Amino acid sequence: MADDKKCKIVIFGAFGAGKTTLVKTLDPESSHVEAKCSGGTTTVALDYGRVLMNGNHIHIFGTPGQERFEFARDIIGKGMDGAILLIDVTSPVDDFIHHLHDSLCAARIPFVIFLNKCDSVGARPELFKKEFSDAAITKVSAIDRKQSLEALCTFAQTLPPHRNAHSPCH
């Protein structure tokens, strides 16, 4: 695949939102790294997978969900064409989700909210739809391959050509 066909999409979300699951579902051959931090009690997790869409590769990165790994999210997010904010709709809305949402808005990154775990008992997607009523929102279940691929491809098709003229997303 030539360099001019690359598209980078980064998944943000809290610990346990389903980022690793989503990357694995989208690309069964994806890679997952867990690096121990100093002290050995916390791990920084990174997921990477690829999906071929209309002859172009979409490169998907999952970020660490712990609040204190902002620096890692900044590094992984560099040069992204678009972002997915993945939310576990069986958990309450919290400040961290708002922080991730507000950061994407402030950075003017095209993003979509995936409301995840909609298959679960106790899922409350309507709460999040109300909370983020201005954003593009899709209900998914990250364990469902068809749903996840459809949601990714629909979002990727909305992305403008890459900011760098040498690597357009389309």
CA distance 22 to 88: 12
Q: Beta strands 56-62 and 82-88: pairing type? A: unpaired
Considering only residues 44, 45, 58, 85, which one is a binding residue for Mg ion as defined by CB under 5 A? 45
- Amino acid identity of 170? H
Burial (CB count <10 Å: 0-12, 13-18, 19+), residue 96: middle
Nearer to ligand GDP, 19 or 73 (CB): 19
Considering only residues 7, 9, 17, 20, which one is a binding residue for Mg ion as defined by CB under 5 A? 20
Q: Is 60 in the site for Mg ion (CB under 5 A)?
A: no
CB of 21 to Mg ion, least distance (A): 8
Considering only residues 8, 9, 12, 18, which one is a binding residue for ligand GDP as defined by CB under 6 A? 18
CB of 110 to ligand GDP, least distance (A): 21
Q: Is 15 in the site for ligand GDP (CB under 6 A)?
A: yes
Binding to ligand GDP, residues 75-104 (CB under 6 A): none
Segment interacting with ligand GDP (CB under 6 A) among 68-76, 100-108, 124-132, 140-148: 140-148
CB of 142 to ligand GDP, least distance (A): 4
Q: Is 117 in the site for ligand GDP (CB under 6 A)?
A: yes
Element (H, E) at 86: strand 82-88
Q: Is 65:13 a contact under the CB 8 Å cutoff? A: yes
Closest CA to 64 of 55, 73, 56: 73
Largest CA distance in the chain: 46
CA distance 41 to 54: 42
Q: Which two tokens stand for residue 31?
A: 């890679």
Q: Is 116 in the site for ligand GDP (CB under 6 A)?
A: yes
Contacts with ligand GDP, residue ranges (CB under 6 A): 13, 15-21, 65, 116-117, 119-120, 141-143
Contacts with Mg ion, residue ranges (CB under 5 A): 19-20, 45
